[in-house]
């Protein structure tokens, strides 16, 4: 009986172990290579420093944009029913599953010199592609949905009875938003923000098409990793390890904010 | 219920055995007539025509286009194409020194040279290479790791010899260091930038260009070699012959590639 039970467990444990090994071993090997290979000095390389600084600046800016524009969007989606609401939700969720390179090419069709807004922007003297602003726009496109989804779930989790009570007490929509909805949804919003920031930090595909690759201007950490892979592997390994550490920190933050799977 | 459990266990055993079998010997035996070829970005536009021309000889070629330095790394990490065409003679020499390709079989294949590609309508009014240093010209250049950059840098240096500050001015105008030849061609011809420096053999029909005089131009020599660990050595030899003196060479010559330096 116990042997049969062990067999039962093995049916699940063996394939599970195979997948776990596939997920864990490369990251362990990367860490070993980075820590054992003396990448410390490489991380002081001007190219690396410029890439890290640019990544931190752009991902922080895009996170700000996402919060400022994404919070009202999530709120509207939760608070009101309106025609086309399902379509709006689809558009908001789409970038999560869309290959980022598609995003980069699509952004060029709008903001490129010959894109839909190209003439209007040229008339205004604005040129977006190949600028740091383009990096931020690409990051907002790919990372925004992560925040909006989380904020939407957070707002939706507010007990309708609490909402109604506030309304009955004469709270305006702004008061309801500021004193009830945001405080209650705060953890979900923060969790979404951390995920969005991490997604922005790792953004590559849309950036390379839409923003290009210029040191200190558009060459973010993922692009520096790609270029480094062709010239100096230790730079690529060092930057990859840095992003791995950041990713672990992001997951820890999200877990601490209560989004722990299975609990 | 016991039956379904047995079925599950049976499936697991099958999967495990399948996994063992795969490590012992490839499930798919290499097809004798197929030759796998790694090509550089400088031949990207010729990959499909070459494969089609080779298919006419009764064999098949599977081509993979990538950056020469990356492909060198892939060879070192155990990739086993049958033939490697490199855009950087230094990378090919390195592969030969490491025993990754047959050193005796390294053959110069073809030469190409640089041209200035222009956005449609030439909005920046570029009429010569020297104009790339002009105020406000939006330039795209190759990333420093690409063979294209090594050649571009030499040409910029030739202008620099008579016009000090030229290279710095062009670099200041450079909006992006693109990670391939085709991205430069695509983004410039889409009008996202005014001009770029690429290989003359990367330009399709109807694209506006400005020639670079031979005195300032720099040539790139492509070389080909059979890979030491080739799974299809006979096919590798046949493909190298096809490229250097057969229908493959005729195709390259028609596309504007020059024969290797005598």
**Which among A10, A130, A226 is the nearest to B179, CB-wise?**
A226
- Average pLDDT score over chain B: 86
Confidence of residue B26 (pLDDT cuts 50, 70, 90): very low
In this complex, do B179 and A130 lie within 8 Å of one another by their Cβ atoms? no
How many interchain CB pairs under 8 A, A with B? 68
Q: How far apart are CA B81 and CA B62, in angstroms?
A: 9
Confidence of residue A3 (pLDDT cuts 50, 70, 90): low
A228 or B214, greater pLDDT: B214
pLDDT of residue B2: 42
| B87 closest CA partner among B59, B102, B66 | B66
Q: What is the mean pLDDT of residues A235-252?
A: 88
Chain centroid to Cα B187, Å, comes to: 18
Q: Is the pLDDT of residue A60 over 70?
A: yes
What is the phi/psi pair of residue B222, to 5°? -85, 140
Instruction: Tell me the Ramachandran region of residue A52: left when phi exceeds 0, alpha when psi lies from -120 to 50, beta otherwise.
Output: alpha
Q: What is the mean pLDDT of residues A139-160?
A: 95
Instruction: Tell me the Ramachandran region of residue B113: left when phi exceeds 0, alpha when psi lies from -120 to 50, beta otherwise.
Output: beta
Contacts of A214 in chain B (CB under 8 A): 174-177
Q: What is the mean pLDDT of residues A210-215?
A: 88
Q: How far apart are CA B198 and CA A85, in angstroms?
A: 48
Q: What is the mean pLDDT of residues A171-199?
A: 92
Q: Is the pLDDT of residue A227 over 50?
A: yes
pLDDT of residue B185: 93
ipTM: 0.71
Please compute Rg for chain A using Cα positions: 22
Contacts of B18 (CB under 8 A, 6+ apart): none
Confidence of residue A156 (pLDDT cuts 50, 70, 90): very high
Q: Is the pLDDT of residue B16 over 90?
A: no
Confidence of residue A262 (pLDDT cuts 50, 70, 90): very low
**Which among A11, A113, A215 is the nearest to B8, CB-wise?**
A11
Contacts of A45 in chain B (CB under 8 A): none
Q: How far apart are CA A122 and CA B239, in angstroms?
A: 50
Cβ–Cβ contact A177 with B under 8 A: no
pLDDT of residue B1: 38
Cβ–Cβ contact A8 with B under 8 A: yes
Identify the bridge partners of residue B64 per DSSP, sorted by sequence position: B38
Contacts of A129 in chain B (CB under 8 A): 175, 192
Whole-model pTM: value is 0.77
| CB A36, CB A117: distance < 8 Å | no
Contacts of B73 in chain A (CB under 8 A): 229-230, 233
CA B48 vs CA A205, B55, B64: distances in Å: 25, 10, 10
**Which among B8, B73, B143 is the nearest to A213, CB-wise?**
B143
State the nearest Cα–Cα gap between A10 and chain B, in angstroms. 9
| A69 closest CA partner among A186, A177, A151 | A151
Chain segment B211-231, per-residue pLDDT in tens = 999 999 999 999 999 999 999
**E strands present in B34-77:** 34-40, 60-66
| CB B149, CB B179: distance < 8 Å | no
Contacts of B35 (CB under 8 A, 6+ apart): B54, B59, B60, B61, B62, B82, B83, B232, B235, B236, B238, B239
Confidence of residue B12 (pLDDT cuts 50, 70, 90): very low
Contacts of B176 in chain A (CB under 8 A): 130, 211-214, 218
In this complex, do B70 and A114 lie within 8 Å of one another by their Cβ atoms? no
| CB A108, CB A129: distance < 8 Å | yes
């Amino acid at each position: 009986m116990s042997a049969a039970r062990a067999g039962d467990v093995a049916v699940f444990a063996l394939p599970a172990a195979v997948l776990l090994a596939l997920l864990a071993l490369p990251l362990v090997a990367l860490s070993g290579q980075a820590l054992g290979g003396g990448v410390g000095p490489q991380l002081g390389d001007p190219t690396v420093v410029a890439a890290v600084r640019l990544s931190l600046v752009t991902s922080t800016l895009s996170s700000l944009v996402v919060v400022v524009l994404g919070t009202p969007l999530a709120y509207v989606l939760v608070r009101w029913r309106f025609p086309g609401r399902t379509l709006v939700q689809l558009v908001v969720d789409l970038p999560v599953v869309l290959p980022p390179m598609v995003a980069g090419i699509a952004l060029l069709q709008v903001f490129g010199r010959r894109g839909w807004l190209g003439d209007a922007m040229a008339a205004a003297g604005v040129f977006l592609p190949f600028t740091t602003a383009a990096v931020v726009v690409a990051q907002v496109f790919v990372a925004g949905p992560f925040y909006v989804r989380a904020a939407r779930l957070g707002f939706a989790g507010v007990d309708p009875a609490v909402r109604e009570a506030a309304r009955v007490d004469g709270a305006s929509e702004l008061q309801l938003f500021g004193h009830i909805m945001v405080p209650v949804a705060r953890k979900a919003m923060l969790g979404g923000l951390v995920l969005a920031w991490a997604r922005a930090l790792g953004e590559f595909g849309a950036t390379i098409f839409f923003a290009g690759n210029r040191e200190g201007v558009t060459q973010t950490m993922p692009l520096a990793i790609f270029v480094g892979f062709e010239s100096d592997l230790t730079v690529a390994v060092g930057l990859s390890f840095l992003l791995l550490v950041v990713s672990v920190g992001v997951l820890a933050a999200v877990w601490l904010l209560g989004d722990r799977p299975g609990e | 219920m016991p039956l379904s459990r047995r079925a599950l266990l049976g499936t697991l055993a099958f999967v495990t055995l399948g996994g063992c079998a795969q490590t012992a010997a490839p499930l798919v035996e290499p097809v004798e007539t197929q030759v796998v070829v790694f090509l550089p970005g400088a031949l990207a536009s010729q990959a499909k025509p070459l494969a089609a021309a080779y298919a006419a000889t009764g064999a098949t070629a599977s081509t993979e286009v990538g950056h020469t330095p990356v492909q060198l790394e892939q060879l070192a990490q155990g990739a086993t194409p049958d033939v490697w065409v490199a855009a950087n003679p230094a990378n090919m020499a390195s592969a030969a020194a490491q025993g990754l390709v047959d050193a005796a079989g390294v053959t110069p294949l073809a030469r190409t040279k640089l041209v200035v590609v222009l956005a449609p309508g030439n909005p920046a009014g570029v009429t010569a290479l020297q104009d790339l240093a002009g105020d406000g010209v939006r330039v795209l250049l190759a990333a420093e790791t690409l063979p294209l950059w090594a050649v571009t840098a030499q040409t910029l240096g030739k202008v620099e010899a008579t016009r000090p500050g030229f290279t710095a001015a062009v670099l200041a105008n450079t909006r992006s260091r693109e990670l391939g030849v085709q991205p430069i061609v695509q983004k410039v011809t889409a009008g996202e930038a005014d001009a770029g420096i690429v290989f003359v053999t990367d330009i399709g029909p109807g694209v506006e260009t400005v020639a670079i005089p031979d005195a300032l131009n720099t040539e790139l020599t492509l070389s080909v070699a059979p890979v030491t660990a080739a799974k299809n050595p006979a096919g590798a030899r046949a493909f190298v012959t096809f490229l250097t003196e057969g229908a493959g060479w005729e195709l390259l010559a028609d596309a504007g590639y020059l024969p290797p330096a005598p």
